[in-house]
Amino acid sequence: MAEYNPRLAVYPGTFDPLTRGHMSLIYRGLKVFENVVLAIAASTPKKTCFSLEERVEMARETFADEPRILVECFDGLLIDYVQGRGAGSILRGLRAVSDFEYEFQMALMNRRLSREVQTVFLMTDYNWMYLSSTIVKEVALHGGNVKGLVSEPVLAKLLEKHEALKAAR
């Protein structure tokens, strides 16, 4: 049986792109856990704007000054990745009641697959309750101002994508 580190949490997602809401949750997670792994999903049913490599690069640049945040990518079942990493917890954020049903189902399935790994939910900070990667992408790719909603590395990549879309028209 694998050795689980209860002070290590995995925060999974597509992070397309990483937002201040995600960042807030990670920093708050560091108040509970010694280290947080930002685990960026390689495979997703969502159509992504950024490649896996771009998402990893933006996250690593964003958290370059925080050694307790590790940025990695994973493919396959989350629970397999978490167990392989030796993490004791999966960290998830909840913005609204609408998030709860999906997250609850996922937590129960992960619990069924591994009784040793716990899912820990943190409520999103009220400043970011309305924020999602989808909204940020839509606004940015149509030329809207998303400064302050994402980190500087993410903002730069969003502006590049917007310019590339404009040039393609």
Query: Which of these is catalytic: 20, 22, 92, 157?
Result: 22
Provide the 3-class DSSP secondary structure of residue 18.
coil
Is residue 132 part of the annotated active site? The answer reads no
Query: Which of these is catalytic: 92, 95, 137, 157?
Result: 95
Could you tell me the CA-to-CA distances from 165 to 106, 131, 156, 160 in Å, in that order? 35, 23, 14, 9
DSSP state at residue 118 = E
Say how many C-beta atoms besides its own lie within 10 A of residue 27's C-beta: 15
Is residue 43 part of the annotated active site? The answer reads no
Enumerate residues 6+ apart whose C-beta is below 8 A from 157. Answer: 17, 50, 54, 58
Is residue 133 part of the annotated active site? The answer reads yes
Enumerate residues 6+ apart whose C-beta is below 8 A from 159. Answer: 140
Is residue 24 part of the annotated active site? The answer reads no
Query: Which of these is catalytic: 46, 68, 147, 166?
Result: 46
Query: Which of these is catalytic: 55, 92, 133, 137?
Result: 133
Q: Which of the residues are catalytic?
A: 22, 46, 95, 133
